[in-house]
Structure 1
Amino acid sequence: MLRKLLFWSLAVLFPFPLVQTYDSLADDPPQLKFYIFLGLIAYTWWLLSIALSVRPSWLHRFVGLPAIYGLHGMLGVLAVVAAYVHREFSYSPSGLARDLGDWSFYTALAVLCFSVFFMSGWLVDRSILLLRAKGILEKVVRHQLSVWVHRLNLAVVAMIWLHVHLLVRVNQYFAFMVLFDLYTVTALSAYAWKKWIAPDTYLMGTVVSNEARGGSTRRVSLGLDSKSATLQPGDFFFLRFEGAAAVSREWHPFSVTDADQKTLTFTIRQHGDFTRRLEGVEVGARVRLEGPFGRFDSIIQDRDSEAPLVFVGMGAGVAPLLSLAAAHHTTRRIHLLWAVRRPEDAYYRDVLEEYQAASGDRLQVTINVGRFRREDLVGTLSREAVKKGAFFIVGPNNAVVANQRLLRRIGVSSRRIHQERLTM
């Protein structure tokens, strides 16, 4: 909790030097200064949002990607609100500066609306109607298009940067403009480095197998050129297939099914426009990997070794939970709950049976056809697990939200529920 509080304080701390510098130099009326401050805050929030979108490696182990994505999304919303107030109540004698401000605002608003619907689960994960509408629209709006629309935030920053440089009221203060440009260059340099330079330093691997598992899942194994020394159980990577004509070159996140540091196995549900084309990836295809990411194992290590662990996986969401079970089934009490669509989709039943046999009765496995309902959880989970257990949920976004609600209703504290949804 303290880590997340410190992390979220970035929203306040990051704009402060720029706002304070302008306040100390400018002699505008207090009311006008306030609206200028809002514009500066909105701009720095967009810059911080861009910086967070590159998934800083030094930050993800500290708070986890869900927290990074959460702040990224909230900054986008708050920046549009602050920009709206700034636009409505401030003024500029420069016509081009006004036009640039208007264009940047409406572009940012359009990107926000698009991203909230297509790239986050804020709405669609909580409404079946909106989820169905998104599924229909995604036949036209492909994931790759969504990514490029999201990158229009770079155009927003460019327009605002020029907007500020055209304002005589602002550009007359040399020290402020130097700091303003330093903010901009730092954020955009971090983005450019991570997107175009850093990938050359990422792990590389080769597809050694690509097999169907069940009706809509594939098991893809990659032989790495070098070991992933920092890999922990429950981690995931962002993958990009190099030169594979059947799939997009955009990055996509997938969880590791086991803890082998040399050959990584991914269990992937074929759901979106990218994953449906995975069957076309041939053995020998080259893959670039960014990561690993994840905090599940760190959370487990920090907990009392006597407290039970409860893993809840939906479909291919069992993948990271399998690696956690492999690492801890002989030392921790674990109850793994796996919801599958059809009996034949329980393709890791034999692996789980091996873990159970070696666990000394520490591992309990419950496989259910269809999602777990409240009565299933009440009848399956022990009273001790509900009161003291740490819960780890992995699966489709709407299913994760539904299971979180069920667990809270039967008495599980939200502080003991952990999940890693990978929406931005």
Structure 2
Amino acid sequence: MRRILLWSTAVVFPLPLVLTYNTLAREPEGLRFYVSLGLTAYAWWLLAIMLSVRPPWLDRLVGLPAVYGLHGMLGVLAIGFAYVHRDNSYAGQPLAALLGDWGFYAAVVVLCFSVFFLSGWLVDRIRMLLEAKRLLERVLRHQVSVWVHRLNLVIVAMIWLHAHLLVRVNQYFGFMMLFDVYTVAVLGLYVWKKWIAADYYLTGAVVGNEPLGGTSRRLSVQLDHAETRIRPGDFFFLRFEGTAAVPGEWHPFSVTDDDQKTLSFTIRQHGDFTRRLTGVDLGVHVRLEGPFGRFDSIAARQHADTPLVLLGMGAGVAPLLSLAAAYHTTREIHVLWAVRQADDAYYRELLARYQASSGNRMTVTAKVGRFSRADLSELLPQQVVRTGAFFVVGPNPAVLANERLLRRIGVSARRIHQERLTM
């Protein structure tokens, strides 16, 4: 229901613009229709920018994956509406036509780049594209992706000026006032959230940075003030300041334990940014945006007898550990942890302590390599398969593969809750 309400904003948000224009405009009905398509596309670009600021209250309602899903779909739909608008209407002013064309082509470039590099719609399902992405990411660093995505602001500026130059639009003062209010409000929110509100985020300092196994690190950040809003399974966006070791961009990492003063993050070093975390010294200042996450609220609303199955791949065990810490003495829990090699099972002793203190409520299975369908059928009793709540965390392709396996052994999709380590 919450997701339906979220998606309904795509219908509601453009309506004031479209209805106001159609009430005031005297152009032929056919032309008004195509102008309305253009206005809808513009409103969707603005809504996508609003969603990109990651409202924490919206994350707690539906989760950031759902927010990002709508964000991406708005970009696709806006391109479609903009194409029909551009192909079936005309601009009498040459500069207006030029700005409209530039805005459209820039939006196509951003969409193509985002679909390939910033989403898993294609690359997580086609291995050849995934390999191509990994190869290109050696040249196109993460900062390039961030700045390409910010081209949406330039696109909005071009379309805003395009509309102001069109006589068929700018002659209606009431409509233009509403058009400008939409634009200024959204861009103002974006500027405030990205460059002003960040000064009020949580802050702390790195107090630990040690390797785990051969491919991961445990990074500990001591907060300047304890954060009581943190829940098991949460994650934060981190930005390291005052160090040349890593760029000053935001990256998401999951909290490993349930401490509200010193946060530990288990990070797999597989990309340019995460590999450079080795050079982050103790004492480096950190700014944290969050917390985000819905795992705890999902687990808490389950019936007391509902088993929790925590399936993690590699560093994906991080948010599941905090769930295990919170519930291992009160709930039936099955932890399944797949690792690449034996020395990557760096939390085996911690999980063993949780299991020993659980009163036989918790079982732990760590396996080198992915779990097969036969493994899952053998490890999970039928009662757990029929009634359990499943939490799956790991790299995108691994999460998708394990979701398919769970459905094949009889787990319904509505009982599978997942978090992908690349969003």
Give the TM-score normalised by structure 1. Answer: 0.99
Query: Greater shift after overlay, 374-383 or 108-117?
Result: 374-383
Secondary structure of the corresponding residue to residue 124 of structure 2: helix
The equivalent residue for 2:288 is: 289
CA 1:412 to 1:230, structure 2 compared with 1: closer, same or farther past 3 Å? same
Pairs within 5 Å for 1:63-102: 63-102=62-101
Q: Distance in 2 between matches of 1:187 and 1:317?
A: 35
Q: Distance in 2 between matches of 1:374 and 1:132?
A: 26
Alpha-carbon contact 2:394-2:421 (below 8 Å) kept: no
Which segments of 5 or more consecutive residues in structure 2 lack a partner in the other structure? none
The equivalent residue for 1:42 is: 41
Alpha-carbon contact 1:235-1:296 (below 8 Å) kept: yes
Q: Distance in 2 between matches of 1:421 and 1:191?
A: 25
The equivalent residue for 2:183 is: 184
Pairs within 5 Å for 1:393-408: 393-408=392-407
Report Cα offsets for 1:346-389 as digits up to 9, x if no partner. 00000000000000111111111001111111111111111111
The equivalent residue for 1:139 is: 138
Structure 1 residue 269 corresponds to structure 2 residue 268? yes
- CA-CA distance at 1:420 after TM superposition: 2.1
The equivalent residue for 1:26 is: 25
Report Cα offsets for 1:114-134 as digits up to 9, x if no partner. 010011111111011111111
Alpha-carbon contact 1:202-1:289 (below 8 Å) kept: yes
Report Cα offsets for 1:19-54 as digits up to 9, x if no partner. 010111112212111111110000000000001001
Alpha-carbon contact 1:69-1:423 (below 8 Å) kept: no
Pairs within 5 Å for 1:154-303: 154-303=153-302
The equivalent residue for 2:334 is: 335
Secondary structure of the corresponding residue to residue 306 of structure 1: coil
The equivalent residue for 1:319 is: 318
AA in 2 matched with 1:331: T
Q: Distance in 1 between matches of 2:94 and 2:408?
A: 56
The equivalent residue for 1:360 is: 359
Q: Distance in 2 between matches of 1:153 and 1:168?
A: 25
AA in 1 matched with 2:111: L
Report Cα offsets for 1:292-334 as digits up to 9, x if no partner. 0000000111111101111110000000000000000000101
Secondary structure of the corresponding residue to residue 164 of structure 1: helix
Report Cα offsets for 1:109-155 as digits up to 9, x if no partner. 00000010011111111011111111110011111111100100000
Report Cα offsets for 1:235-255 as digits up to 9, x if no partner. 000000001111010000000
Q: Distance in 2 between matches of 1:372 and 1:144?
A: 35
- CA-CA distance at 1:423 after TM superposition: 4.7
Which segments of 5 or more consecutive residues in structure 1 lack a partner in the other structure? none
The equivalent residue for 1:109 is: 108
Secondary structure of the corresponding residue to residue 46 of structure 1: helix
Secondary structure of the corresponding residue to residue 272 of structure 2: coil
Secondary structure of the corresponding residue to residue 188 of structure 2: helix
Secondary structure of the corresponding residue to residue 420 of structure 2: coil
- CA-CA distance at 1:58 after TM superposition: 2.1
Q: Distance in 2 between matches of 1:214 and 1:45?
A: 45
Secondary structure of the corresponding residue to residue 310 of structure 1: strand
Alpha-carbon contact 1:338-1:367 (below 8 Å) kept: yes
Structure 1 residue 380 corresponds to structure 2 residue 392? no
Q: Distance in 1 between matches of 2:49 and 2:292?
A: 19
- CA-CA distance at 1:227 after TM superposition: 0.6
Secondary structure of the corresponding residue to residue 265 of structure 1: strand
- CA-CA distance at 1:410 after TM superposition: 1.4
Secondary structure of the corresponding residue to residue 17 of structure 1: helix
Alpha-carbon contact 1:66-1:422 (below 8 Å) kept: no
Secondary structure of the corresponding residue to residue 289 of structure 1: strand
Q: State the 4+ residue runs in structure 1 displaced beyond 3 angstroms.
A: none
Alpha-carbon contact 2:269-2:275 (below 8 Å) kept: yes
Alpha-carbon contact 2:312-2:320 (below 8 Å) kept: yes
Report Cα offsets for 1:254-276 as digits up to 9, x if no partner. 00000100000000000111000
Alpha-carbon contact 1:47-1:187 (below 8 Å) kept: yes
RMSD value over aligned CA atoms? 0.8
AA in 2 matched with 1:24: T
Secondary structure of the corresponding residue to residue 126 of structure 1: coil
Report Cα offsets for 1:397-424 as digits up to 9, x if no partner. 1111111111111111111111123655
AA in 2 matched with 1:264: L
Q: Distance in 1 between matches of 2:402 and 2:15?
A: 39
AA in 2 matched with 1:397: N
- CA-CA distance at 1:197 after TM superposition: 0.3
Pairs within 5 Å for 1:113-124: 113-124=112-123
Q: Distance in 1 between matches of 2:170 and 2:307?
A: 60
Alpha-carbon contact 1:65-1:420 (below 8 Å) kept: no
Q: Distance in 2 between matches of 1:140 and 1:233?
A: 36
The equivalent residue for 1:10 is: 9
